[in-house]
A and B are shown apart, each in its own frame.
Chain A
């Protein structure tokens, strides 16, 4: 359980981190909370020659509100998202999602940027980021670019973050009037990861759906938007939820492992999608 030897670099700015990334290329990894990277290094599944610790780049840990958007620095821990008064007031679904991640030790160290950039197929944040249509800011030596959540998760552990880039900020639109969101997960009893997790964000116009966004994690190799569920609900009233939720696993190659078969995961996705949608509607009406 000892990692292979590596060089440790502690930087105090994004600029310095980017310089080290371009210097060492493939050999360097960014260290944020270290709750995905370090376990893999201890088992020597990952053996980066250089670790670039961005823990001292304090401005990356900020959570702020600006022009109707909530801006969360990549280094914000799950605990700070969970307890932030801004997030609790404007994006309660995200605070709830953060509160369900792992255990208190993981939430104290793990970061939103680290979780999203690592793209574990069973991580919680990706479902919420998809349903909330988050926008990721990626910084590279040439400047910044923004990537929408829908274009961010490419495959197992694979995201739009290119070599030499750092995910520095995640931006969310605050939930407006008539909009409610819920994140529900079936928790893996040992790891705390989502066997399946569903984030549902709905906007109602009168009694009918105006906009529905469903993000699902844990089911396949990457988190995804359940567009067939969303389409089935367009313009409908809430009595259409049960039928629509039955499409939650459509077209997804569900993961099987020793804990949960693919069939079980697909069924969890359908049931949790229905429950999340029903609870999201109840929130708007409350």
Chain B
């Protein structure tokens, strides 16, 4: 694959964002590589219904 990029005029008036969270990225500029990874675990057994048991200590 041959990929040619011509960067002509780029003029943005307003960027409006509510939240940038959990290792997210807002980039105004150029970069060579971006690598993003995310895991979010909320399995069935993470819903604990029963008498309160504290999590294991640090």
Our verdict on whether A and B bind, yes or no, reads: no
Binding site for B on A (CB under 8 A): none
Binding site for A on B (CB under 8 A): none
